[in-house]
């Protein structure tokens, strides 16, 4: 039996300031709900697109991990893929669990990226900021702080957790969030 979001080990220590603890705990809870939606699925089930959208659970796990990795690259290096020069075909493939990929592999990637994000939350200057890359959805010259990136990652994860819950319920009736 897996842990519940309340009993999951968040890795949070008491020597961190409350803001960092809040990010770590909120992300741990959302990650638990998100990954709960893929527990017990086969790779074939994780590839299903059971709703009117083209989303599948395996692809969502991969997309969330790769997007989070892009934002942590931004926090660390001030650069990220996905601006005007983005490979849009590659971006679309993020939402698919390809035949040569397994759910186990993308869940492992998700855990690896999450661990790195958590370490950054524990250690980076939350006020440090970088200019966003050119893209139609960013205001030219706009900057993002690490703090704002981590808040954005939490929002993105919660958003996709809702998608995942609907997909899982459509596959086999399991409801992850209620």
55 vs 90: which has the higher pLDDT: 55
Domain boundaries defined on the chain: 18-172
What is the CATH superfamily name and number for domain 18-172?
A: dinb family like domain (1.20.120.450)
Q: Which uninterrupted H or E stretch holds 75?
A: helix 57-77
Q: Residue 132 pLDDT more than 90? A: yes
> Quick check: helix, strand or coil at residue 130?
strand
Are 43 and 102 a contacting pair, CB within 8 Å?
A: yes
Q: What is the pLDDT of residue 7?
A: 47
The predicted-structure confidence for 137-177, as pLDDT tens digits, reads as follows: 889 999 999 999 999 999 999 999 999 999 999 999 988 76
List the structure tokens of 28.
């741990």
Q: Work out the burial of residue 106: count CB atoms within 10 Å of its CB; fewer than 13 is exposed, 13-18 middle, 19 or more buried.
A: buried
| Phi, psi values for residue 126, rounded to 5° | -65, -20
Q: Residue 100 pLDDT more than 70? A: yes
Q: Residue 98 pLDDT more than 90? A: yes
**Mean pLDDT value across residues 35-61:** 96
Average confidence score pLDDT of the chain: 89
The predicted-structure confidence for 114-130, as pLDDT tens digits, reads as follows: 999 999 999 999 999 99
Q: How far apart are CA 86 and CA 9, in angstroms?
A: 36
Q: What is the pLDDT of residue 112?
A: 98
pTM value is: 0.88
Q: What is the pLDDT of residue 177?
A: 65
**Mean pLDDT value across residues 67-84:** 84
Strand partners, 131: 143
- Percentage of residues in the chain having pLDDT higher than 90: 76
**Measured between alpha carbons, how far apart are the two ends of the chain, in Å?**
18
Q: What is the pLDDT of residue 1?
A: 38
Are 160 and 60 a contacting pair, CB within 8 Å?
A: yes
Strand partners, 18: none
């Amino acid at each position: 039996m897996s842990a519940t979001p309340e009993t999951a080990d968040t890795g949070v220590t008491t020597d961190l300031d409350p803001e960092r603890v809040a990010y770590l705990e909120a992300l741990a809870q959302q990650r638990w709900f998100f990954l709960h939606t893929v527990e017990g699925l086969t790779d074939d089930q994780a590839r299903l697109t059971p709703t009117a959208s083209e989303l599948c659970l395996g692809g969502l796990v991969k997309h969330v991990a790769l997007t989070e990795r892009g934002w942590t690259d931004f926090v660390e290096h001030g650069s990220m893929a996905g601006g005007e020069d983005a490979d849009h075909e590659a971006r679309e493939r993020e939402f698919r669990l390809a035949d040569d990929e397994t759910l186990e592999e993308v869940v492992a990637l998700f855990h690896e990226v999450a661990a790195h994000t958590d370490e950054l939350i524990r250690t980076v200057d939350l006020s440090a900021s970088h200019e966003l890359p050119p893209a139609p959805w960013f205001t030219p010259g706009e900057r993002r702080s690490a703090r704002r990136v981590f808040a954005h990652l939490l929002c993105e994860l919660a958003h996709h957790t809702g998608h995942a819950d609907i997909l899982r319920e459509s596959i086999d009736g399991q409801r992850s969030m209620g």
